[in-house]
Amino acid sequence: MQESGQTQNQAGVVSVVKPILNKFPIKKHDTRSTVIMSVVALLVVGAGLITGWVLSGNSLAGIGGKGEKAAPGAKQTETEAGLEDEATFRDSAEGKLVAGGIDGEGTHRLEREGGETHWVYLTSTVIDLTSFEGKTVKVWGETISARKASWLMDVGKVKVVQ
């Protein structure tokens, strides 16, 4: 005997069988509430981005990679920048500081006598090298591995020679 979801076993016990999956009630979507929720979601995301940017202390110039400042613990003047102790750096070089690396290695290069094979390609995690462009400088730092550059150095200190 089977009627509307009820079954009876051999002992005469009637059990009610309910379907495992139920259909969700279909609600008519209100376009106005959807638009309001979308605008609220965008405002929340925008507020989060602005808050993160303000708390990080960055400026608009920092986003594009310009306007970098010396790292904490490093000093910066017109003739010198970087960490105080020159002895902490194993390597040093002297030459004219020019913007541009080689095939993505280095942000600047030190042009020295002897041509391109003697140039030192530079990057710095400590100081902003752009303020020393076009000047003859001495740099101290650590040599790092390179694929294209003959010599790639992470600069920790720079000092104007002339």
pTM for this predicted structure: 0.54
Q: Which two tokens stand for residue 78?
A: 């017109």
pLDDT in tens, 54-82: 888 765 544 444 444 556 667 778 888 88
At 60, list the tokens: 């608009």
Q: Can you say whether residue 86 is alpha, beta or left, with left for phi > 0 and alpha for psi between -120 and 50 degrees?
A: alpha
d(CA 131, CA 103): 22
Residue 132, classified by CB atoms within 10 Å of its CB into exposed (0-12), middle (13-18) or buried (19+), is buried
pLDDT of residue 65: 45
Beta-carbon-side half-sphere exposure of residue 107 (alpha carbons within 13 Å): 15
Q: What is the pLDDT of residues 30-39, one digit of tens each?
A: 788 889 999 9
